[in-house]
Amino acid sequence: LERRIKHERSARLISFNQQEKTKKRMQALNTVELLKAASKNLGIGPHYTMDIAEKLYIKGYISYPRTESSAYPSSFDFNAILNQFKDNSVWGDYAKNLLAEGIYSNKAGHDAGDHPPITPMKSIDENNISSDEWKIYSYVTKCFLASISPNCK
């Protein structure tokens, strides 16, 4: 098809179909999913990922990174976390919008009862940490925000 139309100057659209599709919001992040995503999407191996996550935890930037939970307990204070992000240069506007519009709780997932899913605990910027730490922190933050956002359309 490309070869046939490559040198044409114009084309006419005869028809098209438009459908709205919805993708469910992701579950909250547990250790296994963090390790898989870091390896596949960020190019960071599992052992190094856990080293980074533990450093971020010790610094107070994320919650305990060794958890099987992929659902938040009913008592989890989402607003406290989101309020910390209101002035963040990367996620501030999105956090404010979630606070204004409301949080979408995800009933799916598993609450192991040991620790909540991996969650950002402090709002920081990229220049506060190393580039690999930022990759993991940023991924954790994006997953947190996605897990309490409306479904994608």
In the annotation, is 48 catalytic? Answer: no
Distance CA 129, CA 44 (A): 16
Distance of CA 48 to the CA centre of its chain: 20
Active-site residue, selected from the candidate residues 48, 57, 64, 137:
64
Contact in structure between 53 and 35 (CB atoms under 8 Å): no
95's CB contacts (< 8 A; 6+ apart) are 82, 83, 85, 86, 88, 145
Catalytic residues: 64
